[in-house]
Amino acid sequence: MGYWYLAIAIVSEVIATLALKASDGFSQFFYSAICVIGYVAAFYFLSLVLKTVPVGIAYAVWAGMGIILVAAISAIIYKQVPDLPAIIGMGLILAGVAVMNLYSKTAAH
């Protein structure tokens, strides 16, 4: 169940981060509210994840996937397309998350 909660935490954090951009410095109430609710949900579900998944693994997956998803969605919504070095860097982050989950004995606990 921990990885399902992690997926919810990641999606909540991504929504909150995208809403943070749209909130225009918390001057737009609707997007500010989505931002706050999203971050509260993200941390709540992350706290549930940490009952069964090691904190280092959970945080690495959460942060890594959040970076990839926010960058990809920002490219579509905000037209903030990452350049080649940024894409390579994010690919390396994704590869690191994959290596941890596929080969680390820590991730299996």
Q: Tell me: the pLDDT tens digits for 81-97?
A: 999 999 999 999 999 88
Q: How many domains does the chain have?
A: 1
Contact 8, 45 (CB under 8 A): yes
Q: How many whole angstroms separate alpha carbon 93 and alpha carbon 77? A: 22
In a domain, 22, yes or no: yes
pTM metric for this prediction: 0.87
The residue segments making up the domain with residue 82 are 2-103
In a domain, 29, yes or no: yes
pLDDT bucket at 109, cuts 50 / 70 / 90: low
Q: Which residues contact 80 (CB under 8 A, 6 or more apart)?
A: 74
Contact 24, 31 (CB under 8 A): yes
In a domain, 26, yes or no: yes
In a domain, 109, yes or no: no
